[in-house]
Structure 1
Amino acid sequence: MKAPLLMIAAGGTGGHMFPAQALAEAMLKKGWRVKLSTDARGARYTGGFPHTTEIEQISSATFARGGLIAKGLVPFRIASGVLGAAFKMMRDKPDVVVGFGGYPSIPAMAAATLLRRPRMIHEQNGVLGRVNQLFAKRVDQIACGTWPTELPEGIEGIHTGNPVRGTVLERAGAGYIQPGDYPMELLVIGGSQGARILSDIVPPAIAQLPMDMLANIRVSHQARGEDEDRVRDYYAENGIDADVQPFFHDVPRRMSEAQLVISRSGASSVADISVIGRPSILIPFAAATGDHQTANARGLTDAGAAILIPEAALNIDALSEQIQTVLSTPEAAGKMSRAALSTGKPEATQTLVEMVEALANTTQGSST
């Protein structure tokens, strides 16, 4: 008897792909077959997926990029992708289709809707993304990574939390060393979008810290490629021990060793911070759709685990003051760490697995 098949449809950013990867890892361990439906952009994020995941590239497009001709071709590219996905789905008959959002997930989710395959979506953010909005009323279930999630009227969601990768789970609840008169780590991470402001403001804010505190600080700063050299030079010129890279492959390790995390409040970053349990200063990306990054931060800030600085209020002095406050009050920093852990949902992947299995069982008869 053939193993059951899960089709995952996900878009081309880490925010969509990391939770998709976590579910793929877990379902393969349960003996399922897993296919990932994405486009060429999404395929760039598949390096961390287990090698037994079948990657299916499909045609999709967005109105958000390109000129008039490119925008005019969007409906045709999407229609072509939906048609291709539908033919493959008729052949493969996936037991469940799970969409994680992003425009590359449109073809597989649309095909699953047309063919009435058991289907659900997972929304990482506190506000539904455009693609998940499109399918919210056309799926069997909605799993919500951030709670509360704004949903269409009459639609109910299940608070699952955001699945985190295995490398994050390995560090779940790692012991926190409170700030003190000894070496301390600061981790600075920004999403792929709009992280330049962190490269402009964070280094001088750190440089303003008292000299006795600064002598103990080592910084790991994730900066865009075009900002990397100037950020590295600034830290060096100010005598600050810093490791500056465009991408850290070991964020979970660095986060578990950090006394403080300065970050955007993308859904994956917030999930990692809460599962590992670290004090943070969060700076939501102001241009995020529906201001969803502010919604993502709500759980940590309400729990007293994070300090929120809106982008409009971000300046060198304000940030420097908040960094100093956390690093000079060890008891309060320890309390923030414990509060972050209280908001974490390390069981998120397992909850999603159970939802997928239940959906496969309850709809088995009616959907074939």
Structure 2
Amino acid sequence: MSQPLLLIAAGGTGGHMFPAQALAEAMLARGWRVKLSTDARGARYTGGFPHTTEIEQISSATFARGGVLAKAAVPFRILAGITAAKVKMWRDRPTVVVGFGGYPTIPAMAAATILRLPRMIHEQNGVLGRVNNLLAKRVNTVACGTWPTILPEGVEGVHVGNPVRGAVLERAGAAYIPPGDYPMELLVIGGSQGARILSDVIPPAIASLPMERLQNLRVSHQARGEDEERVRTYYAEHGISADVQPFFNDVPRRMSEAQLIISRSGASSVADISVIGRPSILIPYAAATGDHQSANARGLVDAGAAILIPESQMSVETVAQQIAIVLDNPDGAHHMARAAQGVGKPEATEHLVSLVETLAQKGTT
């Protein structure tokens, strides 16, 4: 009997690609073949996928970027992608197709709909992204990472949580060392591509901490490429030990070693923080669709595991004060770490696998 084939379609950000990677790892371990359909931008994030994952680049586009001519070409590029995806599916028919959101998922999900293949989407955030909102009524199952998720009328979601990669699961519930008079780690991450406001505000906030605190502190700061050098220079000029990079390939390790994490509240970041179990200061991206990053943060904040600072209230003084509250209160920090673990859903991948297997058993619709 031939191996069943799972086709995963995911967009070009870590928020889409990390849960897709988690599902790929799990399905390959169960003897499935796995293909990933994405565009050139998404292909940059495939380094962590198992090497047996087949990568297919499909033409897609978004109206959100480019000039008038680029926007005029979007429908034609998407149509070309759908046609190419249909041809590939005729040649190698997927058993199930799963979309994780982002414009690069449109060709594969549209082709799966036309060919009436079993299909589902996974929405990481508490508010459906534009593409998943478009697809929600055209798939067999809508799996939700954040609960509750706002869904179109008539659509029912299944709460599975957000799958995390194997490297995160390996550190699930790792022992937490609370802040104290010894070397400590502080991790600053701003989503897949960093965040300028974090690079503007966080370094001076850290620099304003008392010297006895700074001498024990090592910072890992993910900054945009264009901000990298100035952030690194700022830390060096203020005598702060810091590792500044545009992208960390070992975020799970750095999280598990951190006394405090300062982060955007993208769905994957929140899931990783929860499963590993660390105190965090979350700064939702103000321009996120439907303010979904605030919704993502709500579970950790309500559990007493995280401090939320809206961008509108973000200042050097405010951030410094909140950092000090965590680092100066080891018992409180330890409570935050335990509370974060209580929110985590390390079983999310298994729940998603079960949905895929159920769809495979039901066959075409």
Normalization by structure 2: what TM-score?
Answer: 0.98
SS of the aligned residue for 2:136 comes to helix
**Cα shift at 1:344:** 0.4
Match of 2:99 in 1: 99
- CA deviation after TM superposition for structure 1 residue 24, in Å: 0.7
In structure 1, stretches of 5+ residues that fail to align are: none
TM-fit CA distance, 1:350: 0.9
Q: Check whether the contact 1:194–1:285 (CA below 8 A) recurs between aligned residues.
A: no
Aligned to 1:246: 246
Question: Within 2, Cα distance between the matches of 1:255 and 1:47?
Answer: 20
* Residue identity matched to 2:209: L
- Deviation for aligned residue 1:90: 2.2
Equivalent residue for 1:4?
4
Contact 2:286 2:311 in 1 (8 A): yes
- What letter is aligned with 1:322? Q
Residue pair 2:193, 2:223 contacting (<8 A) in 1 also: no
Tell me the residue number matched to 1:81: 81
Gapped regions of structure 2 (runs ≥ 5): none
The Cα shift of 1:138 comes to 0.7
Displacement of 1:18 in angstroms is: 0.8
Partner of 1:347: 347
**1:331-359 CA-partner distances (Å, limit 9, x unpaired):** 11111001100110111111111110011
Deviations 1:115-158 (A, max 9, x none): 11000000011110000000001111011111111111121111
Q: Displacement, 1:108?
A: 0.6
Instruction: Supply the distance in 1 between the matched residues of 2:316 and 2:40 (Cα, whole angstroms).
Output: 39
1:226 CA displacement: 1.2
Give the Cα–Cα distance (whole angstroms) in 1 for the partners of residues 151 and 252 of structure 2.
31
**What is the CA distance between 1:194 and its match in structure 2?**
6.3
Q: Give SS of 1:226's match.
A: coil
Alpha-carbon deviation of 1:320?
0.3
The match for 1:146 is 146
Which SS does the other structure have where 2:97 is aligned? strand
Q: How far apart, CA to CA, are the structure 2 residues paired with 1:131 and 1:5?
A: 23
Q: Which moved more, 1:193-202 or 1:162-171?
A: 193-202
Q: One-letter code of the match for 2:238?
A: N
Residue 47 of structure 2: SS of its match in structure 1?
helix
Q: Give the structure 2 partner of residue 269 of structure 1.
A: 269
C-alpha contact (below 8 Å) 2:194/2:223 kept by paired residues:
no
**Which residue of 2 is the match for residue 198 of structure 1?**
198
Secondary structure of 1:46's counterpart equals: coil
The question of 1:173 aligning with 2:173 is answered yes
Aligned to 2:127: 127
Q: Deviations over 1:77-97 (max 9, x none)?
A: 111111111122122221100
Q: Is the 8 A contact 2:194 2:224 kept in 1?
A: no
Query: Greater CA deviation, 221-230 or 125-134?
Result: 221-230
Q: Deviations over 1:174-194 (max 9, x none)?
A: 000111111111101111456
**Residues 252-282 of structure 1 deviation map (CA, whole Å, 9 limit, x = unaligned):** 1111011100001111110110000000000
- What is the letter of the counterpart of residue 40 of structure 1? A
Provide the residue aligned with 1:327 in structure 2.
327
Aligned-partner Cα distance in 2 for 1:45–1:195:
18
Q: How many residues align?
A: 365
Q: 1:268 is aligned with what amino acid? A: S
Q: Which moved more, 1:129-138 or 1:206-215?
A: 206-215
Identical positions, percent: 78
User: What's the offset of the Cα at 1:309?
Assistant: 0.2
State the alpha-carbon separation in 2 of the partners of residues 149 and 190 from structure 1.
23
Rounded to whole Å, the distance in 1 between the matches of 2:323 and 2:147 is: 27
Alignment-mate amino acid for residue 307 of structure 1? I
> How large is the RMSD of aligned CA atoms in angstroms?
1.0
3-state SS of paired residue (1:150): coil
Q: Which runs of 4+ in 1 moved over 2 A?
A: none
3-state SS of paired residue (1:47): coil
- Residue 134 of structure 1 aligns to a residue whose secondary structure is helix
2:265 maps to amino acid: S
Q: CA deviation at 1:54?
A: 1.1
Instruction: Tell me the amino acid that sits aligned with residue 330 of structure 2.
Output: P
